[in-house]
Amino acid sequence: MGTYWVDTAAVAFFVVEWLAYGFTLEHTAYGRDSLSARMNAYREVWVRNMLDREARMVDMQIMASLQNGTAFFASTSLIAIGGALALLRATHDALAVLRELPVDLTPSPALWEIKCVGLILIFIYAFFKFAWSYRLFNYVAILLGAMPPSSQRDTAEAEAHVMRTTRLFEAAGRHFNRGQRAFFFALGYLGWFVSPWLLLITTALVVIVTWRRQFASNAWRAMGN
């Protein structure tokens, strides 16, 4: 019974760390200095600069590349869901392999299936985030196509259009970031398949690595100049 308490505590730590990291990044003053927040400022710069250009083919090509990247991750999420479902169906085979290891790491079949279901749910969450992000990027593309001409750049309607496009653009990026964060934490979650103690370690490592990329990486420093 004691091992189940360890598993429960490890999973609770995983969930709390994920939620706390996401909340800090998106809803606190500290998070407003992250790499993602700094990039959001350039989304508005990009949209405003479009008002100075009559020819906007390059802008639409950039938008298409963002959509393609999001579609790739959405497709990858479906593949990951399929792999996790296959792992769930192969419970007995997987446990047989674990029994052959020199260290006893074999969970009960029920616990193994719970672990697989948890992994499936993470990838389902990621898929919904990437799919919605892709849809929002489509909406942004429509708004970019409806951008007022440069001759009307100083009008109130042009300013309103820039702000609504920027807000939708930021929402698309935010949902993409959440989907990618789910991928990162899914890698940490894999530690639970070995041991709840390893889950604690891998979760902490994921938080450290993702925090460093957002607040202490070369990219973050470059965007601060």
Per-residue pLDDT of 69-95, as tens digits, reads 999 999 999 999 999 998 888 878 777
Categorize the per-residue pLDDT at 101 as very low, low, confident or very high, splitting at 50, 70 and 90.
low
At residue 137, the pLDDT reads: 93
List Cβ neighbours of 205 (8 Å cut-off, separation of 6 or more).
188
**Cβ-based neighbour number of residue 190 at 10 Å:** 14
pLDDT mean over 151-176: 90
Mean pLDDT value across residues 206-215: 94
Percent of residues, the chain, with pLDDT higher than 70: 94
Structure confidence at residue 59 (pLDDT): 81
- What is the average pLDDT across 20-24? 94
Which amino acid is present at 141? A
Structure confidence at residue 25 (pLDDT): 92
Tell me the pLDDT tens digit for each residue of 165-190: 999 999 999 999 999 999 999 999 99
Q: What is the pLDDT of residue 2?
A: 46
Q: Is the pLDDT of residue 135 over 80?
A: yes
Q: Tell me which long-range contacts 82-90 makes (C-beta under 8 A, separation of at least 24).
A: 84/116, 84/119, 84/120, 84/123, 85/116, 85/120, 87/116, 87/119, 88/113, 88/116, 88/117, 88/120
pLDDT attached to residue 103: 60
The predicted structure's pLDDT at residue 225: 60
Cβ atoms 199, 188 nearer than 8 A: yes
Q: 187 or 100: whose pLDDT is higher?
A: 187
Percent share of the chain, pLDDT over 90: 52
Per-residue pLDDT band for 102 (boundaries 50, 70, 90) equals: low
How does pLDDT run across 41-64, given as a tens digit for each residue? 888 888 888 888 777 788 888 888
Of 14, 12, 6, the C-alpha closest to 196 is 6
The whole-number pLDDT of residue 1 equals 45
Cα gap 92→77, rounded to integer Å: 25
Q: What pLDDT is stored for residue 98 in this prediction?
A: 67
Choice between 143 and 103, residue whose per-residue pLDDT is larger: 143
